[in-house]
Amino acid sequence: MPNKRKRRANSKKISRKKRRQRELMIKVGGTVVAFFIIVYIALYQYVNKTEKDKIQHNIYIGEIDVSGMSAKEAESALHEKVAEYGALAVTIKVGEASTETTLQQLGFSMSNLEDAVEKAVDYGKTGSVWKRFRQIRKLKKEAGVINDKFQIDAAQMTAFIDEYVQPLELRAQNATIQSSGNGFEITDEVSGTMVNTEESIEALNTFLNKEWSYEAIEFEMKQSVEEPKIKRSDLEVIQDELGSFYTDAGSGTRLKNIQRAAELLNGIVLMPGEELSVEKATTPYTIENGYVEGSAYENGQIVQSIGGGLCQVSTTLYNAVLYAELEIVTRSAHSMQVNYVEPSRDAAIAEGVKDLIFKNSYDYPVLIEGYINSAGQLWFRIYGKETRPENRTVKYISETLEEIPYTKKFVEDSGKSLGEKATEGAKINGKTAKLWKVVYVDGVEVSRETKNNSRYQASQLTVKVGTASSNAEASKLVKNALSSQDEEKINAAISEAKALESAAAASEDTDVSEE
């Protein structure tokens, strides 16, 4: 019994002790919770002192202090600052050369402006109270800086580079060659450099976002080595004349245009497989490029145009190319036959419409030489390395297949006396023709092929016929005949009309004498 009572007494003591411990824990826990609630409320009130739409104190976007600003005010401040940055000078260097511009001219902008403002406004206002408290407390010791990001507009900077920077490049210079009385003279090639536009834009963007101190900039363009396409060793193989041709250059304004185009083509070297467009080599056809007005064909008529006479240059070159046996890529006949070569031996040039394009089909480079000699002859010579057999010759034969007579168009001219005629235009017959290439070996024909087929329009003369007469019937006779466009009927009508005029005049004289 005593043992049982003792155990019950101990059990009660333990129970009372545990109850007191629980009560103590509850009190302590309640005190802690109350403390945390008080602290949380205090922190909540602290972090919400700043207005929701205002930026915390000591916040910067880049170097711009946006403290206390609204989002709209911060955006306005940034736009104003970006405009100031845009006016900063940029010295762009290409080796020793340089050019000046501004960031604005290069398409400068702040790429994260709206995003940076949003981050500034949200700083210390998102996340848990504890996170916000730490962010705000940190601002007491140091500024909160939100990175600004800048960029250059690629298209705008590319346009600037094309116009102002590329002219500063020291580009590679090809070796050149020209014939002389004693052979050929060659100048050596020179290596150069060229601006790498994409790398330069990327480098400037990187500089603006990693190294820039918001001041004027001196920027070195990224360049790559440029090797010349044509070297002395390439040109040393040119020793032989492969083909040549000449026409009489004539006189007047056309001669100036012919001279200018020959100058532009003279000295061109075509590497193996390379093509030459005569149009591209000689354009633009402007006064600024040395051309003047000269006669040319347009819609079957002879007109005056800037660069008139260029077709004689392309035609003469075409024939030299034929004899050199280079590959003809594109060739067009004139609208009407020219008088300085046989049919099908011409090659017309009309900007954007007709061109002469040929390719160097040899394994070695060829040189084009063009000039007007003292005798007034336009010459083109093609030089290269002769690989054709010595006993082989080539002849080109023009064959006319059809003759098309020129036509006349009769029109009324009420300002001229009855039957009086005035003719405008040239009498040029049309033709269809083909050009044969005939190959001989030891003087014996071994092949014959059609090189081209050509069709030339006949010209149309405009014949103005006078219909002015005091005799209405006589005038009507000629007008009616003109509608027929039959020359015999028109001439007959003119004779009849004049007879009517004479008869009427005689009748008037008789009446006067009787009076």
What is 400-439 written as a DSSP string? EEEEE--EEEEEEEEEEETT-EEEES----EEEEEEEEEE
By the 8 A CB rule, do 311 and 337 touch? no
50 alpha-carbon distance from chain centroid: 57
DSSP letters along 272-332, please? TT-EEEHHHHH---STTTT--EEEEEETTEEEEEETTTHHHHHHHHHHHHHHHTPEEEE--
Sign for the pseudo-dihedral over CA of 483, 487, 488, 490: positive
**Total-model pTM:** 0.70
Closest CA to 189 of 175, 171, 172: 175
Q: Residue 504 has what pLDDT?
A: 74
Q: Residue 306 has what pLDDT?
A: 65
Give CA angle at 175 (173, 177), nearest 5°. 135
Distances (CA, A) of 299 to 296, 429, 493: 10, 15, 32
> Token digits for 499?
């007879």
Q: Residue 42 has what pLDDT?
A: 46
Hey, is 354 helix, strand or coil? strand
Closest CA to 322 of 350, 353, 348, 347: 347
Task: Compute the distance between CA of residue 239 and CA of residue 383 in angstroms, rounded to an integer.
Answer: 7
Query: What confidence tens digit (pLDDT) does each residue in 477-493 have?
Result: 999 999 999 999 999 99
By the 8 A CB rule, do 147 and 196 touch? no
Tens digits of pLDDT across the chain (515 residues): 566 666 666 677 777 777 777 766 776 555 555 555 554 454 444 445 666 778 888 989 999 999 999 999 999 999 999 999 999 999 999 999 999 999 999 999 999 999 999 998 888 777 566 666 676 678 788 888 899 999 999 999 999 999 999 999 999 999 999 988 788 999 999 999 999 999 999 999 999 999 999 999 999 999 999 999 999 999 999 999 999 999 999 888 889 999 999 999 999 999 999 999 999 999 999 999 999 876 555 544 555 566 678 999 999 999 999 999 999 999 999 999 999 999 999 999 998 999 999 999 999 999 999 999 999 999 999 999 999 999 999 999 999 999 999 999 999 999 999 999 999 988 889 999 999 999 999 999 999 999 999 999 999 899 999 999 989 898 999 999 999 999 999 999 999 989 888 887 777 655 544 44
**Helices 487-514 and 472-482, axial angle in degrees (round to 10):** 180
Task: Compute the distance between CA of residue 359 and CA of residue 365 in angstroms, rounded to an integer.
Answer: 11
Distances (CA, A) of 16 to 12, 20, 25: 6, 6, 14
Sign for the pseudo-dihedral over CA of 418, 423, 429, 430: negative
Residue 319: is it exposed, middle or buried by C-beta count within 10 angstroms (0-12/13-18/19+)?
buried
Query: What confidence tens digit (pLDDT) does each residue in 257-271 have?
Result: 999 999 999 999 999
